[in-house]
Amino acid sequence: MDPYVLVGGGLTTARAAEALRTGGYDGDLVVVTTEPHHPYERPPLSKDYLRGESERDVAFPLDEAWYTEHDVAVRTGETVVGLDPAGHVLTLSDGDTLTFAKALLAPGSTPRTLDLPGADLAGVHYLRTIDDSDRISSRLLEASLEGVGRIVVIGDGWIGLEVAASARTLGLDVTVVGNGPHPLGRVLGPEMSDFYASVHTEHETRLIRDASVLAIRGADGRVTGVDLADGTHLGADVVVIGVGAAPNVGLAEAAGLDLRPAAQGGGIVVDGTLATSAPDVFAGGDVASIPSPHYGRPLRVEHWAVAQETGAHVGRAMLGATDAYDKLPYFYSDQYDVGMEYTGWVDVQAGYDDVVVSGDAGKREFVAFWRVDGLVVAGMAVNVWEQMERVEELIRSRRKVSTTELEGFVG
């Protein structure tokens, strides 16, 4: 029988391979990844690994020996450039072809770039891969040891703020440039965005809001600063750009698979088993636009838990399972001494009723709830642990929850 082929080098493919072997699949199994590494996960790349506090193996959910022991062929440094769904054939960048019985598309995302003068200077970085993290870490640690170093982070989303927190922890001078009125505003709304802003300002990170970057300046081929449209010049020895990512759907698009419009979140259309519109082709992780039974709409979420859960789910589905994916979105972030877990989903742009806080935000120990039409649609626990199951119960209950009940959530 032709092999099952898993396309991508992230956590989704690692968990899919694991689920296939655990589920009893003993046929040929091939992983194809563009990077020169076995599949790995990305959260450490902006946190402990970036700061030099963890060894490289922290990012690998399965070590290389696991693939050997379970007879999984990993083809590193190769890119799938063509998909023939009818013929069940994948074409690789080296001209080789792979005929598959079933395939998983989990190619992840690519950082959005800024078309700016100076964006190609040495010292200007994007963070997506473990090699990116190595390059940034080397420069940050070098600057930290020297006792000097100015870093400008362009973008005030999760990646930008986590990199900023890591750099500040290393003792560097850090400025974060955002183009909106609130850091994380597109995800959390102003209330909790302002909470995170206070965390960073208390750690002496400079936050610039409603800004537009005009150019990146340099000398002798190396970055020296960032110019803003209002005339502000920011000196910089390192610039990290984190302005979002785009799902890698080019392969699926060229093959004629159904895609979700960008206005609806983009990505590859899948059903509850994560099957695409092409027979025997599945999609998971960043690229999958998954119908949510709870929210009644498709969701595409670029976070660790989605990679973890969709990988395991699609592995079971490739073996014949028919249950629908029904996980609520979940993600976490660690910045300075603030640990956070979030579950649920809220369309901040469409609006919500309010945010109710239980606990003590001043002491940074609380749970925040977002409500729409009186229903809890999302919750975020900050430095309060083992609460996600209770938060999920409230979300799934689909009942109106009073302010008094929510305020008493943290005892």
Q: Is 175 helix (H, G, I), strand (E, B) or coil?
A: strand
Over residues 370-383, the mean pLDDT reads 98
Over residues 240-268, the mean pLDDT reads 96
Contact 395, 377 (CB under 8 A): yes
Q: Confidence class of residue 263 from pLDDT cuts 50, 70 and 90? A: confident
Task: Quote the CA–CA distance of 280 and 263 in Å, as a whole number.
Answer: 27
Task: Quote the CA–CA distance of 6 and 20 in Å, as a whole number.
Answer: 11
Element (H, E) at 163: helix 158-169
The pLDDT mean for the chain works out to 96
Torsion over CA: 300, 21, 32, 111 (sign): positive
Over residues 197-205, the mean pLDDT reads 97
Q: Is the pLDDT of residue 148 over 90?
A: no
Element (H, E) at 305: helix 304-318
pLDDT at 126: 98
Task: Quote the CA–CA distance of 219 and 144 in Å, as a whole number.
Answer: 22
Residue 226 pairs with which residues in a beta bridge?
216, 234
pTM (two decimals): 0.95
Q: Is the pLDDT of residue 143 over 90?
A: no
Q: Residue 370: which of 350, 383, 384, 353 has the closest Cα?
A: 353
Over residues 65-79, the mean pLDDT reads 98
pLDDT at 411: 78
Show the tokens assigned to 116: 């700016």
Please name the residues in contact with 156: beta carbons below 8 A apart, sequence gap of 6 or more: 176, 177, 178, 180, 183, 184, 207, 209
Q: Which residue has the tokens 């099957």?
A: 275
Please name the residues in contact with 1: beta carbons below 8 A apart, sequence gap of 6 or more: 27, 28, 101
Task: Quote the CA–CA distance of 312 and 19 in Å, as a whole number.
Answer: 5
Give per-residue pLDDT as tens, 210-248. Answer: 999 999 999 999 999 999 999 999 999 999 999 999 999
Percentage of residues of the chain with pLDDT beyond 70: 100
Any long-range contacts for 86-94 (C-beta under 8 Å, 24+ apart)? Answer: 88/2, 88/280, 90/5, 90/7, 90/32, 92/32
Q: Residue 360: which of 333, 386, 330, 382 has the closest Cα?
A: 382
pLDDT at 393: 98
Task: Quote the CA–CA distance of 240 and 373 in Å, as a whole number.
Answer: 39
